[in-house]
């Protein structure tokens, strides 16, 4: 087992990374109060819910569950209310803990519920997908989608602890594994060329689910994110770099309908669009752009999206959270391993980059 910490002063918390983690022992110091609400979904519950219920019960906790339907299309206010219904029906108080057992959708919704219920209760993350282990479970971003924009309604709610158990990835569908690799590739492109080389060398084994290599990839990704979150918790500056490919990707997700493309798939194509625009701006070379496309394809991820009318694509981009004072800001690549955010890009080149990476 490896351990990282997100350094946020008195809200400092650990990330435990390994296989077959002793969840009872690791959770014990971080579950406050007697009441625990486990939020999960219909896919994860049959696989792992019983294990965590046993662990929490052995700790003397009073445990209730809220099982939501599985899918990005359910990440909305209607299904968020089901968590509040469960908390209120079970008579939970403000000393309770909400434990998210699932992927990014469950983590985002359970965390948002924890931020809102009685104006804030304790929160624990047990991510069961690769994407949630390397990205959404770390850093405290929580929220739900709106028809006009992804993740536009939410709150910052840092967890008490994150348990990233590689054994949970054994049941992960191949498509979901690839989606998680998109976020891992993101960390390499925006800030770590050595990691990029490592990924290029090991992608085949990562796709095959090698637990040791996956643990290393999760550790390196989380270390990168933990450092950035510690320096910019509320995304006032550097943390926005973690959105490489996301402004384009969120537009793809929103247009196609939440759940039709996985978040990682949309981000993968979004990163190609960002790299394409960076090449058109003269910041990276054609060789660099081809390298971005190659590693994304090697992870079984798409590098083009279905045809989307440009005006509709731009309309969704206009609802992005990084729009500031009416100006769209994008995360682009000055070079591989060095990202920048701003409005210093040619709009026509952006249009060309969008249109060039559709089919």
Q: Catalytic residue numbers?
A: 119, 141, 183, 225, 235, 239, 243, 246, 250, 263
- Strand intervals (E) in the chain: 2-6, 13-18, 35-41, 62-68, 97-102, 122-127, 141-146, 149-156, 162-165, 330-335, 338-342
Angle CA 264–100–79, to nearest 5: 80
CA dihedral 153, 155, 157, 162 (to 10 degrees): 30
Tokens, residue 3:
């351990």
CA distance 122 to 154: 16
Rg over alpha carbons for the chain, rounded to the nearest Å, is: 20
The 3-state DSSP class for residue 233 equals coil
CA–CA dist 143, 154 (Å, integer): 4
Q: Are strands 62-68 and 35-41 parallel, antiparallel or unpaired?
A: parallel
Residue in the structure block whose two tokens are 């978040």 = 263
Residue entry with tokens 């997100």: 6
Q: Phi, psi (5° rounding) for residue 206?
A: -65, -45
Q: Contact at 8 Å (CB) between 79 and 110?
A: no
Q: Is 14 exposed, middle or buried (0-12, 13-18, 19+ CB in 10 A)?
A: middle
- Whole-number Å distance between alpha carbons of 266 and 254: 10
């Amino acid at each position: 087992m490896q351990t990282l910490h997100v350094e946020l002063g008195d809200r400092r918390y650990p990330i435990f990374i390994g296989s077959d983690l002793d969840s009872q022992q690791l959770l014990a110091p971080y579950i406050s109060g007697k009441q625990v609400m486990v939020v999960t979904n219909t896919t994860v519950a049959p696989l792992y819910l019983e294990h965590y219920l046993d662990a929490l019960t052995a700790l003397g906790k009073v445990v209730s569950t809220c099982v939501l339907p599985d899918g990005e299309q359910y990440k909305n206010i209607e299904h968020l209310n089901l968590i509040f219904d469960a908390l209120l029906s079970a008579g939970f108080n403000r000393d309770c803990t909400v434990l998210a057992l699932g992927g990014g959708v469950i983590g985002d919704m359970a965390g948002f519920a924890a931020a809102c219920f009685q104006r804030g209760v304790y929160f624990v993350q047990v991510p069961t997908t690769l994407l949630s282990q390397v990205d959404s479970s770390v850093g405290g971003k929580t929220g739900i989608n709106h028809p006009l924009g992804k993740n536009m309604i939410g709150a910052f709610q840092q967890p008490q602890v994150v348990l990233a158990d590689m054994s949970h990835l054994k049941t992960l569908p191949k498509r979901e594994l690839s989606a998680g690799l998109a976020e891992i590739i993101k960390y390499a492109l925006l800030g770590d060329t050595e990691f990029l080389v490592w990924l290029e060398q090991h992608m085949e084994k990562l796709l095959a689910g090698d637990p040791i290599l996956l643990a290393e990839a999760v550790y390196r990704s989380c270390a990168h994110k933990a450092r950035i979150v510690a320096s910019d918790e509320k995304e006032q500056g550097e943390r926005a770099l973690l959105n490489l490919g996301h402004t384009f990707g969120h537009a793809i997700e929103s247009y196609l309908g939440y759940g039709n493309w996985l978040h990682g798939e949309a981000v993968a194509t979004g990163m190609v669009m960002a790299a394409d625009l960076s090449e058109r701006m003269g910041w990276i070379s054609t060789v660099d752009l081809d390298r971005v496309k190659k590693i994304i394809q090697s992870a079984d991820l798409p590098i083009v999206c279905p045809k989307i009318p440009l005006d509709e694509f731009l309309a969704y981009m206009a609802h992005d959270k990084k729009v500031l004072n009416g100006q769209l800001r994008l995360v682009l690549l000055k070079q591989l391993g060095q990202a920048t955010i701003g409005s210093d890009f040619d709009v026509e080149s952006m249009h060309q980059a969008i249109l060039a990476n559709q089919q």
